[in-house]
Structure 1
Amino acid sequence: MANIKKGDLVQVLNGRRQDRGGDRGKQGRVLEVLVERNRVIVEGINFVTKHVRVGQTQRGSKTGGIEQMEAPIHVSNVALVDPKTKKPTRVGFRVEKNDDGKTVRVRYAKKSGEDL
C-alpha cells in the first residue's frame, strides 16, 4: 500500500529554499503518482519550461510555444501533511474491519514533532 496517493496534500522537504527561488516548504495536492519511477507530480511545485513545436489542430488553429508545467519530484522529498496540525508527518497503517467484516489496511498520520 502506498504512503502517498493522488489527491493527498503533501509538503516539499528538500530542495532550494523559497528565498532562493526553490520550493522547499511549499504545500500542494498530488496530481499524479508515477509508481515505477518512485516520483509524484505536485500541483504548483517544481515548474519547468517546456518548448512545444508548432503544429496545427484539426480546426486549423496553431499550437506550440513555451509552456510552464509541473515536473516530477522523488517521493522521498515530499511528506504527507497531517490534516489536524497542517504539518508534514509520517504515515502509518492500521488493520481494521470494514462494514462487511473484511480486514483492510487504513492509512493514518503519525504524531508530528510538537505533539510528542
Structure 2
Amino acid sequence: MHIKKGDTVVKITGKDAGKVGKVLGAIPKSNKVIVEGVNMLTKHKKASQKVQQGGIIHQEGPVDASNVMYYCNKDKQGVRIKHKVLENGQKVRICAKCGEVLD
C-alpha cells in the first residue's frame, strides 16, 4: 500500500472529491484507508454500559486506497509516490513531483 497511517491525503473521486484529510487508519488486507472527514457514515447507537448516551453518531467509513493520493504540502496538490532504496539500504518514499523524502 502506498498510503500509511498519519499521511495527509486528498480524495480524487466520488462525492468527497477534493477533500484533504489525515489518514486515521489503514486496512492493508482489503486495500482501504480511513480518512478524517471523508466518507462520513451515520450510525444509530443504543445506550449501553460503554456508551452512556445513545443517539445518532457520525463517523468516518473506509475508502479504497486507489481513490486517494498523497497530498504534498510543498506542491499543494495530490502527487504520486516513488519508492527508492538509499545507499545505506533504507527504503524510503519520495514525492514524484518535487523529490522530497516523505519517510
TM-score of the aligned structures, taking structure 1 as reference length: 0.78
Deviation at 1:111, TM superposition (A): 1.4
1:39 equivalenced with 2:32 (yes/no): yes
Partner of 1:80: 70
1:62 to 42, 49, 52: 52
Cross-structure match for 1:93? 83
Distance in 2 (alpha carbons) for counterparts of 1:62 and 1:105: 46
Deviation at 1:56, TM superposition (A): 2.8
User: 4+ residue stretches of structure 1 with deviation over 6 A?
Assistant: none
Aligned residues with identical type, % of pairs = 40
Q: Distance in 1 between matches of 2:71 and 2:59?
A: 23
Note the residue ranges of structure 1 that are not aligned, 5 or more in a row: 17-22
- Name the structure with the higher helix share: 1
TM-score w.r.t. the length of structure 2 is: 0.87
Contact 1:56–1:63 at 8 Å: present in 2 too?
A: no
SS in 1 for 2:47: strand
Q: Larger Rg: 1 or 2? A: 1
Amino acid of the residue matched to residue 94 of structure 2? Y
- The one of 4, 20, 32 aligned to 1:27: 20
Provide the residue aligned with 2:3 in structure 1. Answer: 4
CA contact (8 A) 1:31 1:42 kept: yes
